[in-house]
Amino acid sequence: MESGEQIEIARNQLAAFLIERADQSECHAAGEGLSEIKLPERGKPVHKTHYCGAMNASHVGSTVKLAGWVGKRRDHGGLIFIDLRDRSGLMQLVFDQQLGVKMFRDAESLRSEYVIAVEGEVVRRAEDNINPALPTGDVEMRVARMEILNKSKTPPFYIEDDLNVDENLRLRYRFLDLRRPEMLERLKLRHRAVKLVRDYMDRFDFLEVETPMLTRSTPEGARDFLVPSRLHQGSFYALPQSPQLFKQLLMVSGIERYFQIVRCFRDEDLRADRQPEFTQVDIETSFFGPENLFALLEGLVAKLWKEIHNIEIKKPFLRMPYKEAMNRYGSDKPDMRFGMELIDLGDLAVKSSFKVFTSALDGGGAVKGLCVKGGKKMSRKELDDYTLFARRLGAKGLAWAFVEDSGWRSPISKFFEPDLLQEINRKMKAAPGDLVLFVADNWETTCQVLGHLRLALAPEEKSADPHFLWVVDFPLFHYNENEERYDSDHHPFTAPRLEDLQLLEKDPLSVRAQAYDLVLNGVEIGGGSTRIHDSETQARIFKLLGLTDEESREKFGFLLDALSFGAPPHGGIALGLDRMIALLTGDESIRQVIPFPKTAAASCLMTGAPASVDLAQLDELKIDLQPLDEKS
RNA sequence: GGAGCUGUGGUGUAGUCGGUUAACAUAUCGGCCUGUCAAGCCGAAGACCGCGGGUUCGAGUCCCGUCAGCUCCGCCA
């Protein structure tokens, strides 16, 4: 492919292109703008001596080689302009008939996304030809030589930013989608963030240790992805939902400070912020304590936001108990960028004659309200839609009232004495022109439904600053109605708060866990806990979760074993890297920051995964397929 | 498992109350063109309207089913 002539040119210019590694700082920023081409010792440039995006006035007069993809082409007949694109950016090439007839004919044949290498002089553009929109807009290359390294079919969509194309197509041709500069920027930003995490953790003596991808399935939690074993027919590995047990075992091993940037797998339905495989920044510590862990994490995310967005984050972060978060925001991951808190109306609603309210309260439930400022412009249709929305979320209904000077315009106003009505208005800080919404149900449903309504009706202008907080004091268990047993709220290795330990068997639901979530702008970006580090407490928890001694020994024997050999007090956290990156890039979906994501139906449109396999493969594993469900 | 939205030349869209040649932009192909950078001008080709069925004299349009993508609920320790 490469002509001898080109090799010659490369040799002649070699000296100028070798990079000096010696003075490179520890932090080479591949995610930053690219300047000079760096090569290993004895390296020779192939096809290019410079990056397109790095060309500027300082190169004027020198002859350089560039290589990349043909972007926009502007053919004026005797003069052709080509935007040449590589990882670093764009550079305008000028093909002039007078600089060679053959080459010019080749240039006329160039089409979008052809791969070319060019050589020529960098010249300053005439004053009125400068393109201020382009970093390289002061200069252009007068092409003296060109080689077409590869042709390209016409791409199925434009390789440009801000494109509006079916996600189907983007995912099927993800390799082209990633050619778009904005997607490249996402990959670069992710690289920088990951590197920053590694450097930061290293500075605090954390050791990055790898844990198995082929491990054993454990009960509880998400569905496992299973991997059949050939050597042990009928047995299966599971891909890790997280390295939870391994990192605890590493604490028993005496690692003391562990972290890992690690892929995790959960076979559950997808969302904009959930993929079947995703990446965690996994952290575990011994002899460290939650306070140090909070400080460590706050320092880490503050550094991320500082380095990437130059935003100073105030520390320490706000801490809020789970109960309070639910009561005030109707969510265990409250978005604190705006107020609009839920107001508890139990004390006032009880004085009304509205059965829906009073019977909810009689039944031990709650009545809460939400004030929508300026909500009077809402149409009846919209109110019906929100009522439907509330019903879908589990509420029996949605009560509403337009606040007016004379009282409420509402189907339920007749159940409230004028004084009571004013009291409610006062408590909700509702003024004429506002809309107030009420939900009456059990405590959890009431909070959750209003929490969703709060987000749906959130004001346009939210605070621009990132709002971090720790949500703490989660319950240790919740009751699983379907299975009629208690389930761990976090995971079964979470330590109860010591003062709640005596309630463990008496009143499990009131036991608080030493667990915490890190929340940013309404998104849970991490969660962790102090772990149980003695085998007796661990065994008590397993029993409460309905595991028999035999079961827990079979499934978790190695953990109980490890905890009985001098396990240090330990705890940790896992951060959702994809979510964090998506927040840094401002993307709604983590698909944008995952190079090769799955669709909502968990398939890969590019590779066609998942796919059927050869019968021979199944035979080897001694796996028979049952008749498939109808739809397949 | 459930709900909602979307699906029309390669791409992005329009298509009225069901009415017969499915429109526009852009990309593509051909021609012209020496300073463009969303280049311009002229011309050509390109769709059986996601798929299947139904209603109707007649369906891109209405109905049912289905597939795909997206969003949400359930689920996700």
Which nucleotide in the DNA or RNA is closest to residue A172, CA to C1'?
A: B69
> Which chain B positions have some atom within 7 A of a protein CB?
1-3, 10-13, 27-29, 32-40, 66-77
Dist. CA A300–CA A317, nearest whole Å: 12
Which nucleotide in the DNA or RNA is closest to residue A392, CA to C1'?
A: B73
- Residue at the smallest CA–C1' distance to nucleotide B31: A77
Q: What local confidence, expressed as pLDDT, does residue A27 receive?
A: 44
**In the numeric block, which tokens belong to residue A263?**
């892929």
Dist. CA A63–CA A121, nearest whole Å: 4
Dist. CA A501–CA A512, nearest whole Å: 9
The DSSP annotation for A514-566 comes to SEEEEEETTEEEEEEEEBP-SHHHHHHHHHHTT--HHHHHHHHHHHHHHHTTT
Which nucleotide in the DNA or RNA is closest to residue A274, CA to C1'?
A: B76
Dist. CA A430–CA A219, nearest whole Å: 49
The one-letter code for the residue type at A360 is: A
Determine if the peptide bond prior to A321 is cis (ω within 30°): no
8-state DSSP, A274: B
- Mean residue pLDDT of chain A comes to 92
**In the numeric block, which tokens belong to residue A27?**
């932090």
- Note whether A410 and A400 are within 8 A (CB): yes
Dist. CA A31–CA A9, nearest whole Å: 30
Distance A203 CA to B37 C1' (A): 47
- Note whether A114 and A152 are within 8 A (CB): yes
Res. A381: pLDDT tops 90? no
Which nucleotide in the DNA or RNA is closest to residue A478, CA to C1'?
A: B77
Confidence of residue A21 (pLDDT cuts 50, 70, 90): very low
Q: Which of A168-172, A594-598, A628-632 has the lowest mean pLDDT?
A: A628-632
Distance A392 CA to B3 C1' (A): 8
Which nucleotide in the DNA or RNA is closest to residue A134, CA to C1'?
A: B37
SS (H, E, C) A16-53: HHCCCCCCCCCCCCCCCCCCECCCCCCCCCCCCCECHH
Determine if the peptide bond prior to A45 is cis (ω within 30°): no
- Residue at the smallest CA–C1' distance to nucleotide B3: A392
Confidence of residue A107 (pLDDT cuts 50, 70, 90): very high
Q: What local confidence, expressed as pLDDT, does residue A137 receive?
A: 96
Q: What percent of chain A lies above the pLDDT cut of 90?
A: 83
Dist. CA A428–CA A436, nearest whole Å: 8
Confidence of residue A29 (pLDDT cuts 50, 70, 90): low
Distance A159 CA to B42 C1' (A): 28
Q: Output Rg (C-alpha) for chain A, integer angstroms.
A: 31
Distance A156 CA to B12 C1' (A): 12
pLDDT digits (tens, 9 = 90+) for A424-472: 999 999 999 999 999 999 999 999 999 999 999 999 888 999 999 999 9
Is the pTM higher than 0.90? yes
Distance A118 CA to B24 C1' (A): 39
pLDDT digits (tens, 9 = 90+) for A251-297: 999 999 999 999 999 999 999 999 999 999 999 999 999 999 999 99
Dist. CA A577–CA A558, nearest whole Å: 29
Res. A20: pLDDT tops 60? no
Which nucleotide in the DNA or RNA is closest to residue A598, CA to C1'?
A: B69
Task: Report in angstroms the alpha-carbon separations of A326 from A344, A360, A392, A495.
Answer: 11, 18, 19, 22
Buried b (16+ CB within 10 A) or exposed e, A586-611: ebebbbbbbebbbeeeeebbeeeeee
H helices, E strands: number in chain A: 18, 22
> Kindly report the CA angle at A463 between A300 and A466, in degrees rounded to 5?
10
Distance A239 CA to B52 C1' (A): 40
Distance A460 CA to B77 C1' (A): 35
- Residue at the smallest CA–C1' distance to nucleotide B72: A271
Q: What local confidence, expressed as pLDDT, does residue A587 receive?
A: 95
Q: Which of A50-64, A117-131, A214-228 has the lowest mean pLDDT?
A: A214-228
Kind of pairing between the strands at A207-208 and A257-265: parallel
8-state DSSP, A232: S
Q: What local confidence, expressed as pLDDT, does residue A99 receive?
A: 87
For residue A338, give the nearest of A431, A456, A463, A460 by alpha carbon: A463
Distance A169 CA to B59 C1' (A): 29
CA dihedral A241, A245, A247, A249 (to 10 degrees): -160
